[in-house]
Amino acid sequence: MSSRVIGIFGPTGVGKTGVAVALAEALREKGEDPVAISCDALQVYEGLETLTGAATAEEQQRLEHRLIGFVPVTRPFSVGDYMQLAHREIDAALNAGRRPMVVGGTGLYLRAAIAELSLVKVPPGTEDSELWSAATRHPTLIFGLDMDREQLYARIGARTEAIVAGGAADEVRRADEAGPSRTARKALGFDELLSGDLERMKKRSRNYARRQLTWMRKIPNLRWIDRTGRADAEVAAEILEAVAGSSTARS
């Protein structure tokens, strides 16, 4: 059976949303109907869309996004909560003849979306874990976006400044006044914007990107794509070619 679900994963600042939008437009030219299902642990929160880098209104006009901005900041939210919703969204899309694209940078949420994730902790030192099993609920191709580190860190710095210029500090103050849940407060930059420490926010973002790249190396059958110096449309074309090749190979 050909791959039916596309996963797009990568570190913060690498441009996952832009690639997903470009891919969606290419898929529509092929007669498909794509929909993005976010796999970001913090983009679920309503009112923190700028801080968490959720798809903008313009991007959502070009590609429908699901599971972003729907949880009140006062409410805790877990990977278990997410898994049920993601499975429902993916199954509904497939049943409607659409192409689900799981897009984001939270490794655990990616696995929860595409697999039956065991939430039982694995003993330390265990090599095999159901968490990283290659088995998926539906035939899936996962693409990992990477980039030259110097360029990635420059993009992270620029992205952080754009987030602040876009009003993220106001989002954080409103959320803080509402009484954010423990999980909502984990949003990268939340505490830094309350204290006005932009440089610490940039440093934490770079550190987070390194952790995301470590997650990428653990994902079975992930296809790495170096997007250094490449436009969104060029990367999307490479993904589309791989998806088409997978369909041909399995038919």
Q: Decide if pLDDT at 125 tops 60.
A: no
Q: Mind listing the pLDDT tens digit for each residue in 143-154?
A: 999 999 999 999
* Three-state secondary structure call for residue 185: helix
Overall pTM > 0.85: yes
Q: Mind listing the pLDDT tens digit for each residue in 200-235?
A: 999 999 999 999 999 898 888 899 999 999 999 999
146 close to 222: Cβ distance less than 8 angstroms: no
Phi then psi dihedrals of residue 45, to 5 deg: -85, 130
In sequence order, what are the residues at sequence separation of 6 or more whose Cβ sits closer than 8 angstroms to the Cβ of residue 244? none
Rounded distance, CA 109 to CA 204, Å? 20
235 close to 146: Cβ distance less than 8 angstroms: no
Which of 88-108 are b and which e, b meaning 16 or more Cβ less than 10 Å from the residue's Cβ? ebbeebeeeebbbbbbbbbbb
Q: Which CATH superfamily is domain 5-245 in?
A: P-loop containing nucleotide triphosphate hydrolases (3.40.50.300)
**Percentages (nearest 5) of helix, strand, coil residues in the chain:** 50, 10, 35
Q: List the domain boundaries for the chain.
A: 5-245
| Cross-sheet strand order for the sheet of 65-66 | 65-66, 34-38, 99-104, 5-9, 140-146, 223-226
